[in-house]
Amino acid sequence: MAAEDRLKRILAMVPWIVAHDGPTVEETCVRFGCTPPELMRDIELLYLCGLYPYTPDLLIEASVADGRVYVEYADYFSRPLRLTPGEGLGLVAAASTLLAAPGTDPNGPLARGLAKLAAALGGEDTTFDGTIDVELGATDPHILSLLRAAVDASTQAMIRYYSFGRDDVDERLIEPVSVFRSVGEWYVHAWCHRARDERTFRVDRIETAVAIDHRRTGPAIVPSTTLFVRRPESGSVVLALHHEARWVAEQYPVDELAELPDGRLSVRLSVSEFAWLDRLILQLGPHAEVLEAPSGWPDVGPAAARVLARYET
């Protein structure tokens, strides 16, 4: 299980266990879809959770006794929170995600707390008017507006785009169908005439964009917010990851995952662009080993030589 999923389970589990005052190990495992050993590992992690300087009053108490699970909140849980509107909004967003975690009680303490917090943000807190400003970062507002206008008018745009995966800049005629924000970045989903397929482009990597006053001519496509799509032509790589490189399994979609006898983690990743793989292997440095390479990949040597050339002059 990925760390993110485990964290969601633990966060969902804690208020449920507290509310049920010592549920059995069996019913807890059934509710949250884990095995007793996994539950024990969660409990062992929980009683290490707290605030600096980690004195007993600042640590969550978690234990298993006579087949039942007990969790007691640390003292600081009883203190009133003084959240800023930004912190409150972040908490609402995070708690809403947790409510979707398997096993969460839709009418439990988490849901009730979320409702109270949302009400405070939208009602009693007179400084919050229900609107949020979104920072565009390096995204050019002109480009963003141009793309949105193309979506609304069903027209085309010519973009000059830096492909992170291929480490290359090219020009493309696209037909935008949606502009969306995900994981802090803006994206445009479009039909790409160059690729003759649908593609998703990160807006801050569009160097220039020109509106083309032509109606769409490509096939109709369904707007999508999916950032990674496995293509038939994609190859795959198998990496052995040391502890320091395990973040790869959290950051990228993994096709296969296995613990190796030597303690490393084996992962199989889809590879659609070799420059992306070059970059990843260089970033991992001594903490990863390529066990299986995608067909046609000339190994990381040429990319490493290009980078080293900057350091040998």
Partner 1 sequence: MAVPASALRPAAFSRPWELGTPGEEYLATVVVDAAQAPWAVRHVGAAAVAATRFDGAVELSLTVRNTPALLNFVLGFLDHAELLSPPAVRAELVAWIRAAALRGSNVVPT
163 near partner 1 (CB under 8 A): no
Q: With respect to partner 1, which residue has the nearer C-beta, 230 or 306?
A: 306
Residue 21, judged by CB atoms within 10 A of its CB (0-12, 13-18, 19+), counts as exposed
Q: Which residues of 186-209 are buried (b: 16+ CB within 10 A; e: fewer)?
A: bbbbbbbeeeeebbbbbbbbbeeb
Alpha carbons 144 and 150: distance in angstroms, whole number: 10
Asked if residue 293 binds partner 1 (CB under 8 A), the reply is yes
Residue 284 binds partner 1 (CB under 8 A): yes
- Strands in 235-241's sheet, in edge-to-edge order, are 235-241, 265-271, 254-259
Q: Which is nearer to partner 1, 46 or 203 (CB)?
A: 203
Question: Could you give the count of Cα atoms lying within 13 Å of 261 in the half-sphere of its Cβ?
Answer: 0
Of the residues 7, 40, 89, 229, which one makes contact with partner 1 according to CB under 8 A: 89
- Per-position x/- string for 7-46, each x denoting binding to partner 1 as judged by CB under 8 A, each - no binding: ----------------------------------------
Indicate whether 255 belongs to the interface with partner 1 (CB under 8 A): no
Binding mask 169-198 for partner 1 (x = CB under 8 A): x--------------x--------------
Q: Does 138 engage in binding with partner 1 (CB under 8 A)?
A: yes
Where does 116-217 show beta strands of DSSP type E?
A: 155-163, 168-182, 185-192, 197-202, 206-215
Minimum CB separation of residue 189 from partner 1 in Å reads 20
| Residue from 4, 106, 134, 213 in contact with partner 1 (CB under 8 A) | 134
Question: Considering the rule CB under 8 A, would residue 252 count as an interface residue with partner 1?
Answer: no
Query: In the set 236, 252, 255, 272, which binds partner 1 (CB under 8 A)?
Result: 236
**Which listed residue (132, 228, 233, 261) binds partner 1 by CB under 8 A?**
132
Of the ranges 52-60, 62-70, 220-228, 233-241, which one interacts with partner 1 (CB under 8 A)? 233-241
Identified binder of partner 1 from the candidate list 22, 103, 218, 235, rule CB under 8 A: 235
Nearer to partner 1, 57 or 87 (CB): 87
Q: Which residues contact 78 (CB under 8 A, 6 or more apart)?
A: none
> With binding defined as CB under 8 A, does residue 251 bind partner 1?
no
* Biggest CA-to-CA distance, the chain: 73
Among 85, 103, 108, 218, binds partner 1 (CB under 8 A): 85
For the residues of 232-269, what is the DSSP string, one character each? TT-EEEEEEE-GGGTHHHHHS-EEEEEE-TTS-EEEEE
Amino acid identity of 293? Answer: A
**CA angle at residue 281 from 277 to 284, to 5 degrees?**
140
C-beta separation of 34 from 12 below 8 A: no
Give contact residues for partner 1 (rule: CB under 8 A).
Answer: 84-87, 89-90, 93, 127-129, 131-135, 137-138, 162, 167, 169, 184, 204-205, 235-238, 244, 275, 278-279, 281-286, 288-297, 299-301, 303-311
